[in-house]
């Protein structure tokens, strides 16, 4: 089995045949995938949210399905439904769009809260229950949801409790002028997406997910993670800090980052780098913080600056 560092490098190179720059975003997506974590990509239209997800899907020999969320989409469109077979007289399960290995939930905040809950429940349970019968989703299973944080008309914002189910929240951001010129040149005569091919299998991803869990985490690192999440619950600008689930996800992300760097043990730097994408969307700001333009990222910076760093031999 190839290690995570080798496969991640190959996947990164493949995706960047289409995506200009954005190495950090690509790496974070790969880290979340290696941790069995789902991703929320939140950014303005036109920066490549759907494209970067499609590139990841085309780089893997996995089933891929895109769900375009609208206000009239039903929970059964997501999970599936049972229908009577008139010939046999028996009920048959017709699987919904969620029964794929990689799912793009495009513009998730345009769906009704009931439909959002149906998707998020499958993300949490890794299974679908229809008419009392449970069906496991295929593995590996990765949901990448997108939403536009600017346009609110006709949308249903995800509640804080639902946001907590996403492993990471990412933002792609605008390219630099030089990168935008490169984008124009790359797409001038053809679409590079058409020539993109798969370079890893579902079995490779499952093996990587198992490898990540074997990454050594010293007790001092676990204590450091716990003190970080505990400190978020004591910040004056926060109504709600990170949960124990956030601490677990932070540890897992640090394990994956260590593997991506070619190590079998976690360093303090792994924890600090992963704290922002893993924890910031779990921090609920008080109204006065928003009035003073204090962001979750700023609060996380304060937390990391105030929590003492353990000294380790490694």
Q: What is the percent of the chain where pLDDT is above 90?
A: 72
pLDDT of residue 153: 67
The answer to whether the bond into 312 is cis (omega within 30° of 0) is: no
Q: What is the pLDDT of residues 199-226, one digit of tens each?
A: 999 999 999 999 999 999 999 999 999 9
pLDDT of residue 197: 93
Confidence grade of residue 1 (pLDDT, cut at 50, 70, 90): low
Task: Answer yes or no: is pLDDT of 314 > 70.
Answer: no
Confidence grade of residue 250 (pLDDT, cut at 50, 70, 90): very high
Q: Which residue spans within the chain are E strands per DSSP?
A: 39-42, 60-61, 64-68, 80-84, 91-95, 102-106, 127-130, 133-136, 142-147, 168-170, 200-201, 238-240, 284-285
Task: Answer yes or no: is pLDDT of 120 > 60.
Answer: yes
Domains in the chain with CATH codes = 4-204 (3.40.50.300), 215-306 (1.10.8.80)
* 184: its two tokens: 């124009």
Confidence grade of residue 161 (pLDDT, cut at 50, 70, 90): confident
Q: What is the pLDDT of residues 88-119, one digit of tens each?
A: 777 777 888 899 999 999 999 999 999 998 89
The model's pTM = 0.92
Q: What is the mean pLDDT of residues 28-41?
A: 97
pLDDT of residue 279: 97
Confidence grade of residue 134 (pLDDT, cut at 50, 70, 90): confident
Q: What is the mean pLDDT of residues 37-57?
A: 94
Task: Answer yes or no: is pLDDT of 6 > 60.
Answer: yes
Confidence grade of residue 17 (pLDDT, cut at 50, 70, 90): very high
DSSP, residue by residue, 66-122:
EEE--TT--HHHHHEEEEE-TTT--EEEEE-TT-SSEEEEETGGGS-HHHHHHHHHH
pLDDT of residue 152: 65
Confidence grade of residue 156 (pLDDT, cut at 50, 70, 90): confident
């Amino acid at each position: 089995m190839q290690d995570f560092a080798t496969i991640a490098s190959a996947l990164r190179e493949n995706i960047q045949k289409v995506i200009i720059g954005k190495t950090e975003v690509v790496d974070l997506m790969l880290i979340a995938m290696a941790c069995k974590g789902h991703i929320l990509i939140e950014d303005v239209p036109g920066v490549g949210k759907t494209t970067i997800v499609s590139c990841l899907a085309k780089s893997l020999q996995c089933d891929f399905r895109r769900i375009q969320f609208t206000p009239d989409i039903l929970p059964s469109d997501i999970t599936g439904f049972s229908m009577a077979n008139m010939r046999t007289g028996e009920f048959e399960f017709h699987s919904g769009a969620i029964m794929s290995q990689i799912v793009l939930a495009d513009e998730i905040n345009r769906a009704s809260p009931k439909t959002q809950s149906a998707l998020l429940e499958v993300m949490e349970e890794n299974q679908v229950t229809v008419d009392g019968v449970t069906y496991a989703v295929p593995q590996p299973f990765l949901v990448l949801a997108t939403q536009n944080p600017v346009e609110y008309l006709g949308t249903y914002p995800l509640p804080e409790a639902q946001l907590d189910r996403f492993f990471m929240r990412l933002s792609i951001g605008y390219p630099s002028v030089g990168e935008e010129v490169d984008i124009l040149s790359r797409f001038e005569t053809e679409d590079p997406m058409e020539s993109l091919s798969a370079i890893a299998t579902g079995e490779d991803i499952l093996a990587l997910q198992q490898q990540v869990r074997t990454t050594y985490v010293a007790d001092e690192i676990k204590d450091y993670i716990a003190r970080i999440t505990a400190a978020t619950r004591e910040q004056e600008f926060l109504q709600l800090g990170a949960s124990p689930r956030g601490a677990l996800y932070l540890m897992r992300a640090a394990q994956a980052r260590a593997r991506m760097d070619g190590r079998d043990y976690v360093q303090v730097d792994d924890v600090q780098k992963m704290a922002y994408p893993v924890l910031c969307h779990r921090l609920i700001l008080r109204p006065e913080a928003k009035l003073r333009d204090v962001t979750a990222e700023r609060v996380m910076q304060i937390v990391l600056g105030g929590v003492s760093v353990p000294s380790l031999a490694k």
